[in-house]
Amino acid sequence: MQNSKTITLVVVGLALITAFSFNFMNSADEPIDDSAEALVTIKINRSAVGTFQGLFIAEELGYFRERGIQLEMTIGNSPDTAIAELLSGTVHLAMTGASPMAAAVANGVPVLAVLNAQDQSGDPRTTGLLVRSDSDIQSITDLRGKKVGMPGIASPQTIAFLIELEKFDMTRDDVELVNLPFPGVLSAIESGAVDAGMPVGLFYTVGIQQDYRDFRTVYENMAAAPAVLFAASKGWVEQNEDLLASFNEAMIMAYAYGNANNDVIRRIDTEQTRQAADYIATREIAPLVGSFDVDGWNLQNQQMVEYGFMPRVPSPDEYIWSGAPRQ
């Protein structure tokens, strides 16, 4: 259970460090007065790797303003840091991943998933095991003794990869897993720092456009859990349920608009990222999804426990807000 203990220390440690850096007199766990004439500000830590477009759509089309909401957005660094910032009160909502979210709850951290952003299964693909086009790695067995970069060791990408290894009578001990930040996986493959890796979101599709080879069966091992979601501290949710319901309503409308108007998604990508124009113009766009696939997420949690990344499987009601949309 060493891995699950490590997750506990990382999440709780980050929370304590961040908490002592800010004045709790203005804690985000305090209820927001949404009866005032002025717009209510929701502080959001958004994803740096995509799936954030719904926020900008809802702002541009007035969905938030119609509900008395305005946003104060910052760009997040990592899923674990996002959870720590929720606990410290630095932000009200944060975009994080299903694995760090469930692991935090399994270790007693009081956070809740309140809205999905995108699922990680189905087409178009949002991640995969990539190697450079000139790599001599032609099969999974060729990875024996090689370095494989992951966007977090305790991640759905690692689980999918370990499942694939088992099909070839291999284990984690046969490879060297390298923990990398989300933006760093693709660049590590390119530089040769790792022999293969599983980039996520925009970085995966950039790799595909650059003719990296994809071991496509690895992605098929992914559970139908959220790729990216919105989370909040349990205390903030309990004190701001009406406000959160209004936020979700605006976002669901924005998701529907974005899914029907991919040109708007591409424009926001152009304005908010540094991706190349030709990539943005041609990339496949995975749909924005507000509801949670509860069974798929629960399956992933079971796998997290099986591979030693979580101490127990929490019930869905422990980590999904009762007012959140579910599939």
Interval 6-22: pLDDT, tens: 444 344 444 434 443 43
Q: Which pLDDT value is given to residue 152? A: 86
Measured CA angle at 315 (ends 102, 239), to 5 deg: 75
Q: How far apart are the C-alpha atoms of 240 and 44, rounded to whole Å?
A: 15
Domains and CATH numbers, the chain: 2-121+225-319 (3.40.190.10), 129-219 (3.40.190.10)
pTM of the model: 0.81
Instruction: Calculate the alpha carbon distances from 147 to 2, 9, 129, 181, 185 in Å.
Output: 21, 25, 12, 15, 12
Measure the CA–CA gap between 229 and 93, rounded to whole angstroms.
10
pLDDT, tens digit only, all 327 positions of the chain: 445 444 443 444 444 344 434 333 344 455 544 444 589 999 999 987 779 999 999 999 999 999 999 999 999 877 778 899 999 999 999 999 999 999 999 999 999 999 999 988 778 888 999 999 999 999 999 999 999 999 888 899 999 999 999 999 999 999 999 999 878 999 999 999 999 999 988 789 889 989 999 999 999 999 999 989 999 999 999 999 999 999 999 999 999 999 999 999 999 999 998 888 888 898 889 899 999 999 999 999 999 999 999 999 999 999 999 999 999
Q: How far apart (Å, rounded) are the C-alpha atoms in residues 70 and 240?
A: 15
**Can you tell me the distance from the alpha carbon of 132 to that of 197, in angstroms, rounded to the nearest whole number?**
10
Yes or no: say if 28 and 92 are a contact pair by the CB < 8 Å rule. yes
Which structure tokens are listed for 72? 């104060």
> Using one digit for the tens of pLDDT, what is the confidence trace for 212-263?
999 999 999 999 999 899 999 999 999 999 999 999 999 999 999 999 999 9
Q: What is the pLDDT of residue 279?
A: 84
Residue 40 sits at the vertex; the CA angle it makes with 65 and 319, to the nearest 5 degrees, is 100
Mean pLDDT of the chain: 88
Interior/surface letters 223-259, b for 16+ CB within 10 angstroms, e for the rest:
bbbbbbbbbbbbbbbeebeebbebbbbbbbbbbebbb
Per-residue H/E/C for the chain: CHHHHHHHHHHHHHHHHHHCCCCHHHCCCCCCCCCCCCCEEEEEEECCCCCCHHHHHHHHCCHHHHCCEEEEEEECCCHHHHHHHHHHCCCCEEEECHHHHHHHHHCCCCEEEEEEEEECCCCCCCECEEECCCCCCCCHHHHCCCEEEECCCCCHHHHHHHHHHHHCCCCHHHCEEEECCCCHHHHHHHHCCCCEECCECHHHHHHHHCCCEEEHHHHCCCCCCEEEEEEEEHHHHHHCHHHHHHHHHHHHHHHHHHHHCHHHHHHHHHHHCCCCHHHHHHCCCCCCCCCECHHHHHHHHHHHHHCCCCCCCCCHHHHECCCCCEC
